[in-house]
Amino acid sequence: MYRVLYRKWRPQTFADVVGQEHITYTLAHEVQSGKVSHAYLFTGSRGTGKTTCAKILAKAANCLNPVDGNPCNECAVCKGLDDGSILDVIEIDAASNNGVDNIRDLREEANYTPVHTKYRVYIIDEVHMLSIGAFNALLKTLEEPPAHVKFILATTEVHKLPATILSRCQRFDFHRITPENITSRLRYVAECENIDLDEDAALLIARIADGAMRDALSILDRCSGITNHVTTEVVSNAAGLAGKDYLFELVDNINENNPSEVLSIVAKLHNDSCDMERLCTELINHYRNLMIIKTVKDPQKLIVCTDIDLESYKKQADKTTLFKVLSCITTLEECSAMLKSSSSKRTEMEMSVIKLCIPDISSDNTAILSRIERLENMLKDGKITVSAKTETKPQEKQSEAPAPAPVQEKKEEAPLPPPPPEAPTAPVQDTSPDVDVLFTGWGEVLEKLNVTDKPLTGILGSSSAYIRGDFLLIKCDNPVFSQFIRQGNHANAIKTAVYEVTGRKFRLGIYKSDDSKANSNDPLADLVNKINNLQ
The β-bridge relationship of strands 437-438 and 39-44 is unpaired
**Residue 535 above 60 pLDDT?**
no
* Strands, sheet with 170-174, edge to edge from the N-terminal-most edge strand: 89-93, 120-125, 149-155, 39-44, 170-174
216 vs 223: CA distance, rounded Å: 11
Selected residue with higher pLDDT from 363 and 272? 272
Round to whole Å and give the CA distance between 305 and 283.
Answer: 14
Paired strand residues for 509: 473
Q: Indicate if the pLDDT at residue 405 is higher than 60.
A: no
Q: How confident is the model at residue 324 (pLDDT cuts 50, 70, 90)?
A: confident
CATH 1.20.272.10 residue spans of the chain: 245-373
Percent of the chain with pLDDT over 90: 31
**Shortest CA distance to 165 belongs to which of 151, 146, 176?**
151
Whether the pLDDT of residue 412 is over 70: the answer is: no
pLDDT class for 288, splitting at 50, 70, 90?
very high
Q: Supply φ then ψ for residue 488, to 5 degrees.
A: -55, -40
Q: Where are the alpha helices (DSSP H) in 210-258?
A: 213-226, 232-239, 245-255
pLDDT on residue 154? 93
CATH number for domain 179-239, candidates 1.10.8.60, 3.40.50.2000, 3.20.20.10, 3.30.70.141: 1.10.8.60
Four-CA torsion 346, 349, 354, 360, nearest 10 degrees: 140
Q: Are 259 and 353 in contact (CB under 8 A)?
A: yes
State yes or no: pLDDT of 45 exceeds 70: yes
Quick check: 240 pLDDT over 80? no
Q: In what order do the strands lie in the sheet with 464-468?
A: 437-438, 464-468, 471-475, 507-510
Q: Confidence band (pLDDT; 50, 70, 90) for 424?
A: low
For residue 518, pLDDT over 50 is answered with: no
pLDDT classification of 187: cutoffs 50, 70, 90: very high
Mean of pLDDT values over 203-218 = 90
Distance in Å from the first CA to the final CA of the chain = 81
Q: Which residues contact 395 (CB under 8 A, 6 or more apart)?
A: none
| φ/ψ (deg, to 5) at 42 | -105, 120
CA distance 101 to 302: 46
- Report the amino acid identity of residue 493: A
Within a 13 Å sphere around the CA of 422, how many CA atoms are in the beta-carbon half?
Answer: 5
Share of the chain above pLDDT 70, in %: 83
> In which region does residue 370 sit, left (phi positive, over 0), alpha (psi from -120 to 50) or beta (all else)?
alpha
Phi, psi values for residue 153, rounded to 5°: -100, 140
* DSSP state for residue 38 in the 8-state scheme: S
Provide the mean pLDDT of the chain.
82
Distances (CA, A) of 529 to 278, 489, 535: 41, 35, 10
pLDDT of amino acid 71: 92
Look at residue 312 and tell me whether its pLDDT is greater than 50: yes
Q: Which 3-state string (H, E, C) describes 375-430?
A: HHHHHHHCCCCCCCCCCCCCCCCHHHCCCCCCCCCCCCCCCCCCCCCCCCCCCCCC
Surface-to-core class of residue 433, CB atoms within 10 Å of its CB (0-12 exposed, 13-18 middle, 19+ buried): middle
Nearest Cα residue to 126 out of 24, 50, 216: 50
Enumerate the CATH 3.40.50.300 domain ranges in the chain, comma separated: 5-174
Where does the chain hold its CATH 3.30.300.180 domain(s)?
Answer: 402-534
Model confidence pTM above 0.85: no
Q: Please, which residues bridge with residue 234 across strands?
A: none
Q: Is the dihedral of CA 13, 19, 21, 24 positive or negative?
A: negative
Q: Kindly state the average pLDDT of the residues 75-82.
A: 90
pLDDT digits (tens, 9 = 90+) for 133-149: 899 888 888 888 889 99
Domain spanning 402-534: which CATH class is it, in words?
alpha beta
- Can you identify the CATH homologous superfamily of domain 5-174? P-loop containing nucleotide triphosphate hydrolases (3.40.50.300)
Residue-level length of the chain: 535
E strand or H helix at 467: strand 464-468
Tell me which of 403 and 328 has the higher pLDDT.
328
Pick from 100, 149, 89: nearest CA to 125: 89
Residue from 148, 370, 358, 134 nearest 257 by CA = 358
Going by C-alpha positions, the residue among 171, 169, 42, 60 that lies closest to residue 119 is 60
Residues 161/155, Cβ–Cβ less than 8 Å: yes
DSSP lists the bridge partners of residue 122 as 90, 151
Give the span between the Cα atoms of 488 and 445, in whole angstroms: 17
Query: Taking residues 80-101, what's their average pLDDT?
Result: 88
329 pLDDT more than 80:
yes
219: amino acid identity, one letter: I
Contact 204, 308 (CB under 8 A): no
Q: What is the pLDDT of residue 87?
A: 87
Q: Tell me, what amino acid is at 1?
A: M
Pick among 3.40.640.10, 3.40.50.150, 1.10.10.1100, 1.20.272.10: CATH of 245-373: 1.20.272.10
- Which whole number is the average pLDDT over 460-488? 81
Give the per-residue pLDDT at 121. 93
Asked whether 34 and 165 are in contact (CB, 8 A), the reply is no
Which of 129-138, 466-475, 522-531 comes out lowest in average pLDDT? 522-531
pLDDT value at residue 171? 93
Q: Is the pLDDT of residue 475 over 50?
A: yes
Q: How far apart are CA 357 and CA 99, in angstroms?
A: 52
Residue-by-residue DSSP string for 110-128: HTSPPSSSS-EEEEEETGG
* Dist CA 443 CA 366 (whole Å): 20
